[in-house]
Amino acid sequence: MTSIATEQAGEMLISKTERTESQVVRDIEHGETVGEPLMEDAKMSVRNTDVFYGDKQAIFGVDLDIGKNQVIAMIGPSGCGKSTFLRCLNRMNDTVEGCRVSGELTLDGSDIYSKKMDVVALRARIGMVFQKPNPFPKSIYDNVAYGPRLHGLASRRGELDEIVENSLRRASLWDEVKDRLHSPGTGLSGGQQQRLCIARAIAVSPEVILMDEPCSALDPIATARIEELIAELRENYTIAIVTHSMQQAARVSQRTAYFHLGHLVEVNDTEKVFTSPEHELTEAYITGRFG
Amino acid sequence: MTDQAKAPVESTIDKVNKTLARRYRAEKRFRLYGMLSIGFGLLALVVLFTDIISKGKGAFLQSYIQLEVTYDSDVLGVYDVNDEDQMALANFEGVVKQALRNRFPEVSSRKDKKELYQLASLGAAFELRKQLTADPQLLGKTETLWLLADDDIDTYYKTIGGEEFIGATSDKQRAWTKSLVDADEIELKFNINFFTRGDSREPELAGIWGAAKGSFFTLLITLVLSFPIGVAAAIYLEEFAPKNKWTDLIEVNINNLAAVPSIIFGLLGLAVFINFFHTPRSTPIVAGLVLTLMTLPTIIISSRAAIKAVPPSIRQAAMGMGASPMQVVLHHVLPLAMPGMLTGSIIGMAQALGESAPLLMIGLVAFVVDVPGAINDPATVLPVQIYLWADSPERAFVEKTSAAIMVLLAFLIAMNTLAVFLRKRLERRW
Amino acid sequence: MQTANLIIVLLAMVGIAYYMGRGRSFALAKPLGGIRHLNSLPFYYGAQTAIWCCVPSLILLALWALFDEPIITNVVLSGLPEAIQPQTVADQNLLLNRIENIASGALAAGADEQALSAAADRLNGLRETAQWVLTAAILSLAVLGGLWGWRRVSPKLKARNQVEVVFKSTLLACACIAILTTLGIVFSVVFETIRFFSFDEVTITGFIFGTEWSPQIAIRADQAGASGSFGAVPLFVGTLLISFIAMVVAVPVGLMSAIYLAEYANPRVRSTAKPLLEILAGIPTVVYGFFAALTVAPFLRELGESMGLDVSSESALAAGGVMGIMIIPFVSSLADDVITAVPQSMRDGSLGLGATKSETIKKVIFPAALPGIVGGVMLAVSRAIGETMIVVMAAGLAANMTANPLDTVTTVTVQIVTLLIGDQEFDSPKTLAAFALGLMLFVVTLLLNLFALRTVKKYREQYD
């Protein structure tokens, strides 16, 4: 399957210069994803997935594997469906009125959308960090302790303290907030708030963390901190990150997936995507011709 | 590192799974509370309406007794119908009494006769007077007529075969009524009095027309005063007011006035309008003034919302053409905001129509029999009439009260429907 | 001429003034080459003239209405012979009333009251004269004003600016009515309250801390030591008890309804249930009072009897419970506003961590919305305290100090109504006590409202 995709991509490359963009778009509507969307020993795998909002289709037949302890970045022009796709992975789209997901999505081989799958347990395994930092209007401590308390992860006060401290340390926020754990989380700076949200997500010890443009609301320095953090977290977690910044994708991820108008156009090792993209749309995007 | 991480991950899921059953139960419970709450609210609504309707539906029909009436000159004391003095003193009650005696010849003792006379209402005599005045030929003749029954007889007749009767009738009166029933000489007819008469001490003669007209005059004054003033104040605050302490004060004031208990406005009306300005007490004019002050905040607040909804681009476009602020307001903002303002005003008027507490203090509780003809005639209003009747001891007033409530609610529903209709039809969305 | 007719004539004159002013501006513009040579549009010249015609006359009319009655009655009174000159204010009112009745023909003057019937004639005569003088003054002022305005019309006159100044001032005056209303409330209750406390048998501390309330005795002021007692604590206790019962019903039900409608219900349920619940808010309070007194109270009484409880037929429970039902939609719509104002990102953050919907609501949305909800509940409390008709009809008059909801209690509003319905004697503490209670009620609800409105406003700003 992979080889067929590569062959098709090769054919496309030949006539690349002579075709208009609308022709290309028509192509991707029928075309396969180029690159290597599938892999062995995947943490999560997505097959033939469509997403609809009411009558409108937002995602078209996506096949993708997400590797264990890897960072996969999803890039593409705005409105391409990358955030929608990410929100399918822990069924956050359930909360959206009229949203329908079809296809096969699995986590460690078990179907995410099966009736037997419990959404609460699923989300405890797949955490999420959102575009805008959204700390709860509670203290820093309570923000981090929120998940463990919900899920009954700590049986003693001391255990909870430990989880909070560990999570804040892993989110490299501990040193900045250890003296004011009980002041409100909303009082932190934007970057700190986002790291608090990351700490909140990892306090539940998820297996996968989904990040939806986690740095879009932050300044460059705060962004750098978060990116460092992602690199460290990779050792323990599988991370899927949506970003509109190609540089960020290049810096933090091992694999990159390029979405266009709801289609997954190309997936490959990050280095390959940015140095020698196989699909002309990917190339056009990373060279800044649109997006 | 990877192995270290794996251990807690496994246990996390186990721990989470252990809590799931309990948490889903809590979820279900919480949802149930929500549904129960809504159910409770809706149930209260249904119970309230059924209660009022079941209590009040009887009031639209009234019992009439069939009697053979003789316009006997000697009993009446009238020998010439055109003689006003004779007519003024005419004893129509005697005619009714005679008719009752003729119907029940077996009644002989004084005490029993007194009870017998209570079968017919005072209204029966009024009716006879009307008949005779309209047709002087009737004098001396005998006619079979349906005459208004007394309220207790009416209540008793309505409860026959139904619920338990509570009221002030004697055993004999009930027996007479039964015999009338058996002879088909008592009947329920549409209660025209209820819609055409003013208040009365006799439930069978009491009507809501006086109160309805009082409410109409009161609302008319309220509308004429509060709509222009409210709209003008809203325009000032939205379009002209500078951002300063004075404007802030006005704003806080309006918001607060909207939440002041209505009874306080009654105190204001009593002290300012009646004691200081000597506005005539018990009249629609003073009621209208008090209700104006009360509804103004509502109208101002909704008018401001309507003005705010007009997009600034329209103002800028007009200003750009060289229109003065007043022209912008009169030519553009006001017409566009008008539907919203009207909607708000109708809702304010509906509030005023249902208000009674402040009116108790400015004399609207007076017992007024005559239907008011102008804004400075003594009057009462529908909700106060309801209050007065609810307070009356006569059993028959319960159904009159409920019926008056039904009429009031019908008006309120009509006004609110009109407001919803206006909003849907006319309000623009940008 | 009757004042109503006078106003109609005045309106007609204003219309004429408008057309004359407008016509003059057209006439003046013609030789100059059209209305574009005028400073303002003809409409403004017309309006300018009309304003000159009506404003001075209206001011005169208002002043007249304020002062003619006192002046006329003074003249009539001073014309009375020395022997029957009234000594006190109360006497004077009585006498005036009598003269008034004789003048209107409702009462015939007694044989020995020659002086009074003369005074009545004088009164009628003066009134008639005054009305004629007024008519003449108003109409001539309108004509003069209109003429002045008409003469002022010239191409250079900045009519538009002048009209706009008047327009803006009128708007400002309308906006200030809100302030005037508040001032009116404050002055009327404060003034009468001061008079109330100036009576010997009433003290401020006795009023606020006294535990016995029996104002009815005070009517017989001539009886030694039989002055009423005005200790308002039982009324406060009763008010609080009934408000508390109302809140116990309204807050949980209203809050849970709002939560269900905002977070769980699908749009169809929401769009039917919400307006249905809001009908409850539109029902007049007198209807609730009737329902409480004639349906709920007897029902509770029977229910209590069947359980061996002694329930008063005017129990606090019936009044408070029905009041609670009335306040449900108030709480639920305020709560709905604040709950929907909590940003979606909060919900996402919590759900993303694996919280169930109810956990998200209880642990994130509710705490976040708490300030707004508290503000809403305070407004509801203020409404419950000030609610009148339900308690007047369903609660009793007995000033009991009790926390038993099955007992009869009375409230501040019930007492205000009872004291002011029927005969009002503004020189007895009985009537004036109502104003002191009114002042208490106004101050307490004012504080509650101000605090609540500020809390809600701050809360809204937080998420805007």
Instruction: Evaluate if residue B210 carries a pLDDT over 80.
Output: yes
Q: Quick one: what percent of chain B has pLDDT higher than 90?
A: 34
State the smallest CA–CA distance between residue A197 and chain B in angstroms.
19
pLDDT at C216: 64
The total number of residues shown for chain C amounts to 464
Tokens of C428: 């007895």
pLDDT at B294: 94
Cα dihedral B352, B355, B361, B364, rounded to 10, equals 80
Question: Does the beta-carbon distance from B271 to C420 stay under 8 Å?
Answer: no
CB-neighbour burial class of residue C393 (10 A; exposed 0-12, middle 13-18, buried 19+): buried
Question: Does the beta-carbon distance from A122 to C345 stay under 8 Å?
Answer: no
Total CB pairs under 8 A between chain A and B = 41
CA distances from B207 to B53, B229, B383, C284, C393 (A): 18, 35, 13, 20, 21
Residue A22 binned pLDDT confidence (cut-offs 50, 70, 90): low
Question: Does the beta-carbon distance from C352 to A90 stay under 8 Å?
Answer: yes
Q: Measured between CB atoms, does C283 come within 8 Å of chain B?
A: yes
pLDDT at B428: 63
Question: Does the beta-carbon distance from C175 to B293 stay under 8 Å?
Answer: no
Parallel, antiparallel or unpaired: strands A71-75 and A255-260: parallel
Instruction: Evaluate if residue C25 carries a pLDDT over 90.
Output: no
Segment among B104-108, B154-158, C105-109, C436-440 with least mean pLDDT: C105-109
Segment among B154-168, C188-202, C234-248 with least mean pLDDT: B154-168
| Choice between B322 and C280, residue whose per-residue pLDDT is larger | C280
Residues in a beta bridge with B190: B61
Residues in a beta bridge with B166: none
| Choice between A224 and A27, residue whose per-residue pLDDT is larger | A224
Q: Measured between CB atoms, does B159 come within 8 Å of chain C?
A: no
| Chain A neighbors of C364, CB-CB under 8 A | 136, 146
Instruction: Evaluate if residue B136 carries a pLDDT over 80.
Output: yes
Question: Does the beta-carbon distance from B20 to A205 stay under 8 Å?
Answer: no
At B147-204, the pLDDT tens digits run 888 888 888 888 776 666 666 778 888 888 888 888 888 888 898 889 988 888 888 8
pLDDT at B325: 84
| Chain C neighbors of A197, CB-CB under 8 A | 349
Q: Measured between CB atoms, does C151 come within 8 Å of chain B?
A: no
CB-neighbour burial class of residue C111 (10 A; exposed 0-12, middle 13-18, buried 19+): exposed
pLDDT at B41: 94
At C29-71, the pLDDT tens digits run 888 877 787 888 888 888 889 998 888 888 888 888 777 777 8
What SS3 state is found at B202? coil
Nearest CA in chain C to A87: C352
Q: Measured between CB atoms, does A80 come within 8 Å of chain C?
A: no
- Taking domain A36-286, whether its CATH number is 3.30.870.10 is answered by no
Question: Does the beta-carbon distance from C348 to A146 stay under 8 Å?
Answer: no
Q: Quick one: what percent of chain B has pLDDT higher than 70?
A: 95
pLDDT at C27: 86
pLDDT at A30: 60
Scan residues 104-133 of B and list those with Cβ closer than 8 Å to A. Answer: none
| Choice between A187 and A5, residue whose per-residue pLDDT is larger | A187
Residue B147 C-alpha from the chain's centroid: 29
Residues whose CB is less than 8 angstroms from the CB of residue A211 and which lie 6 or more positions away in sequence, other chains included: A128, A129, A230, A239, A240, A241, A242
| Chain A neighbors of C350, CB-CB under 8 A | 136, 146
Scan residues 235-274 of A and list those with Cβ closer than 8 Å to B. Answer: 235-237
Residue to substitute from A99, A132, A150, interface C, most C β-carbons within 10 A: A150
Those chains having 3 or more beta-carbon pairs within 8 angstroms of chain C are A, B
Mean pLDDT of C348-364: 92
Mean pLDDT of A198-208: 91
Tokens of C243: 């408000």
Instruction: Evaluate if residue C224 carries a pLDDT over 50.
Output: no
At C156-180, the pLDDT tens digits run 888 888 888 899 999 999 999 888 9
What SS3 state is found at C168? helix
pLDDT at B149: 87
What SS3 state is found at A239? strand
* Beta carbons within 10 angstroms of residue C456's beta carbon: 22
pLDDT at B141: 84
pTM given for the model:
0.85
> What is the rounded CA–CA span in Å between residue B262 and residue C286?
13
Segment among A254-268, B161-175, C399-413 with least mean pLDDT: B161-175
State the smallest CA–CA distance between residue A99 and chain C in angstroms.
14
Residue C219 binned pLDDT confidence (cut-offs 50, 70, 90): very low
Q: Are B215 and B282 in contact (CB under 8 A)?
A: no
Vertex B233 angle, CA B226 and C11, to 5°: 60
> What is the rounded CA–CA span in Å between residue B343 and residue B422?
7
Facing A205 at nearest CB: one of B12, B18, B23: B12
> What is the rounded CA–CA span in Å between residue C356 and residue C345?
15
pLDDT at B4: 44
> What is the rounded CA–CA span in Å between residue A98 and residue A54?
5
Q: Quick one: what percent of chain C has pLDDT higher than 90?
A: 35
At B364-392, the pLDDT tens digits run 888 888 888 888 888 899 999 999 999 88
Those chains having 3 or more beta-carbon pairs within 8 angstroms of chain B are A, C
pLDDT at A29: 62
Residues in a beta bridge with A127: A209
Segment among A65-74, B84-93, B156-165, C202-211 with least mean pLDDT: B156-165
| C229-463: CATH architecture | Orthogonal Bundle (1.10)
pLDDT at B429: 61
pLDDT at A24: 58
Question: Does the beta-carbon distance from A120 to B12 stay under 8 Å?
Answer: no
Mean pLDDT of B398-417: 92
| Chain C neighbors of B23, CB-CB under 8 A | 356, 359
Instruction: Evaluate if residue A9 carries a pLDDT over 70.
Output: no
- Give residue limits of the domains in chain C: 3-157, 229-463
* Mean residue pLDDT across chain C: 86
> What is the rounded CA–CA span in Å between residue B314 and residue C62?
39
pLDDT at C1: 57
Residue C218 C-alpha from the chain's centroid: 28
Instruction: Evaluate if residue A192 carries a pLDDT over 80.
Output: yes
Residue to substitute from A120, A122, A155, A232, interface B, most B β-carbons within 10 A: A120
Residue B286 binned pLDDT confidence (cut-offs 50, 70, 90): very high
Q: Quote the radius of gyration of chain C (alpha carbons, Å).
A: 31
Scan residues 155-214 of B and list those with Cβ closer than 8 Å to A. Answer: none
Residue C249 binned pLDDT confidence (cut-offs 50, 70, 90): very high
Cα dihedral A147, A148, A150, A152, rounded to 10, equals 160
Question: Does the beta-carbon distance from B401 to C453 stay under 8 Å?
Answer: no
pLDDT at B161: 67
Facing A205 at nearest CB: one of B2, B9, B18: B9
pLDDT at A19: 53
Residue to substitute from B38, B281, B330, interface C, most C β-carbons within 10 A: B38
Look-up: residue for tokens 């099966």? A114
Where are the extended beta strands (E) located within chain A? Answer: 34-35, 42-53, 56-67, 71-75, 99-107, 110-111, 126-129, 208-212, 238-242, 255-260, 263-269
pLDDT at B214: 93
User: Among candidates A236, A287, A291, which has minimal Cα distance to A259?
Assistant: A291
AA letter at C387: E
Nearest CA in chain B to C419: B361
pLDDT at C218: 43
Residue B119 binned pLDDT confidence (cut-offs 50, 70, 90): confident
pLDDT at C190: 92
| DSSP string for C264-287 | IS-HHHHHHHHHHHHHHHHS-HHH
pLDDT at B9: 47
CB-neighbour burial class of residue C307 (10 A; exposed 0-12, middle 13-18, buried 19+): exposed
CA distances from C450 to B257, B302, C186, C332 (A): 10, 20, 16, 20
CB-neighbour burial class of residue C34 (10 A; exposed 0-12, middle 13-18, buried 19+): exposed
| Choice between C422 and C316, residue whose per-residue pLDDT is larger | C316
At B225-270, the pLDDT tens digits run 999 999 999 999 998 888 888 888 888 899 999 989 999 999 999 9
> What is the rounded CA–CA span in Å between residue A164 and residue C180?
58
Scan residues 345-374 of B and list those with Cβ closer than 8 Å to C. Answer: 350, 353-357, 360-361, 365
| Chain C neighbors of B272, CB-CB under 8 A | 184, 188
Domains of chain B: 58-191 (no CATH), 209-426 (1.10.3720.10)
Residues in a beta bridge with B186: B65
Instruction: Evaluate if residue C115 carries a pLDDT over 90.
Output: no
| Chain C neighbors of B40, CB-CB under 8 A | 253
Q: Quick one: what percent of chain C has pLDDT higher than 70?
A: 95
Total CB pairs under 8 A between chain B and C = 262
Q: Are C280 and C326 in contact (CB under 8 A)?
A: yes
What SS3 state is found at C136? helix
Q: Measured between CB atoms, does B250 come within 8 Å of chain C?
A: yes
Facing B250 at nearest CB: one of C178, C273, C361: C178
At C55-113, the pLDDT tens digits run 888 888 888 877 777 788 788 878 777 777 777 766 777 777 778 778 777 777 666 67
Facing B240 at nearest CB: one of C168, C261, C453: C168
Q: Measured between CB atoms, does C299 come within 8 Å of chain B?
A: no
Question: Does the beta-carbon distance from B262 to C386 stay under 8 Å?
Answer: yes
